[in-house]
Amino acid sequence: MALDPRLDMGAIIYVTAKMVRSGAEGARMYGSAAGLKILTGTVTAVERVLTATICRSTWVTAPFEVRYKTHFKKLGLLNCRP
């Protein structure tokens, strides 16, 4: 088990609808609640990248269900909650 629960395969993460689709698309689907609508996803991949400035960047990939479609989204750890 990782120290951060978002780094475990199969962990459930929560993000806003604006993070999965664009802001305009989220506003079209959810109206004024686009910034408040929470979507759930299950972590399928974790990627740790070494940047050009020798810093580590961690990315999680998860599928999200949006209006009967599945969207796979790669997000940074700051954008999702455990």
Predicted structure pTM score:
0.78
Rounded CA separation 64/82 (Å)? 15
Q: Is the pLDDT of residue 56 over 60?
A: yes
pLDDT digits (tens, 9 = 90+) for 26-53: 788 888 787 788 888 999 999 988 888 8
Confidence at residue 43, expressed as pLDDT on a 0 to 100 scale? 92
Of the chain, the end-to-end C-alpha distance in Å amounts to 14
Q: Over the chain, what is the mean pLDDT? A: 84
22 pLDDT band (50/70/90 cuts)? confident
Q: Is the pLDDT of residue 2 over 70?
A: no
Closest CA to 19 of 40, 42, 50, 44: 40
Q: Is 4 helix (H, G, I), strand (E, B) or coil?
A: coil
